[in-house]
């Protein structure tokens, strides 16, 4: 990995709208701060302002130090749900702090269902013949489902999310029989609803290389995917990643 790629991963580039969400201000206010130099920024060839996460974080810290009595409507610190947990009871990828900050800046968590993602989860069930498919986004507290087929629950706790293992890597992560896997045998999603036995997921990655979550398929019986099914799942995940990037670019 090049030095520039490492910098981008640890200190992602944000749009004006993403910076405004982190700062808890209107986009027009963030735009003024960018143009005035209060937030160091630059223009892309297309004329759009961009800013580093570190610059937004510094401004948050400065505002918090200067204005302890600010209005509750003004965000002076990131939402705790997007801050790393001390001694987390689940595996975390390198750069978890930057990943969570980028996810918060995306504004994707708790958004309304979208047809494009629902089509992708439906297609995932068709190409793999699995009864359950999910598009997940992982905060420090929970695994929230942007799209779901075959389950009613809208989210789970992060500590029981199979997808926490998936975002540690770039390729598919597969568990052929969770009941026989020491990492998952006692998981309440295995011992109770939806009674997971088989799981296969592919990370969904933003433009900065952060794995926001996964596209995954689940079955209630042990099994394995054929090569063409694994490839099809990876292709659907690539489309889902492109859709996420389109909303955060």
To 5 degrees, how large is the angle CA 120–CA 124–CA 126? 115
Residue 249: band (very low, low, confident or very high) from pLDDT cuts 50, 70, 90:
low
pLDDT(151) > 50: yes
What lies within 8 Å, CB to CB, of 30 at 6+ separation is 16, 17, 19, 20, 23, 39
Which three-class secondary structure state does DSSP give residue 211?
strand
pTM exceeding the 0.85 threshold for the entire prediction: no
Distance CA 183, CA 185 (A): 6
pLDDT digits (tens, 9 = 90+) for 2-47: 434 444 556 888 888 888 888 777 787 788 778 767 788 888 888 8
The whole-number average pLDDT for the span 158-179 is: 97
> Per DSSP, what are the bridge partners of residue 216?
134, 201
């Amino acid at each position: 990995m090049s030095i520039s790629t490492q910098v981008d991963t640890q200190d992602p580039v944000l749009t004006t709208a993403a910076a405004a969400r982190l700062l808890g201000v209107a986009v027009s206010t963030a735009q003024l701060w960018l143009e005035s130099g209060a937030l160091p920024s630059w223009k892309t060839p297309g004329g759009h302002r961009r800013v580093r996460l570190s610059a937004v974080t510094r401004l948050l810290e400065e505002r918090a130090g200067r204005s302890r009595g600010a209005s509750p409507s003004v965000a002076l610190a990131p939402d705790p749900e997007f801050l790393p947990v001390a001694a987390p009871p689940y595996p975390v990828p390198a750069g978890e702090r930057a990943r969570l900050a980028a996810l918060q800046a995306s504004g994707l968590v708790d958004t309304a269902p979208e047809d494009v993602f629902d089509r992708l989860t439906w297609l995932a069930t068709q190409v793999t013949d699995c009864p359950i498919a999910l598009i997940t986004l992982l905060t420090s507290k929970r695994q929230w489902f942007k799209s779901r087929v075959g389950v009613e629950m809208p989210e789970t706790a992060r500590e029981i999310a199979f997808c926490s293992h998936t975002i540690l890597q770039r390729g598919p992560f597969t568990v052929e029989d969770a009941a026989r896997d020491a990492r998952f045998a006692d998981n309440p999603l295995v011992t109770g609803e939806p009674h997971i036995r088989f799981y296969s997921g592919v990370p969904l990655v933003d433009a900065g290389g952060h794995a926001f979550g996964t596209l995954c398929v689940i079955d209630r019986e042990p099994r394995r995917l054929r090569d063409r099914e694994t490839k099809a799942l990876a292709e659907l995940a690539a489309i889902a990643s492109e859709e996420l990037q389109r909303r955060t670019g």
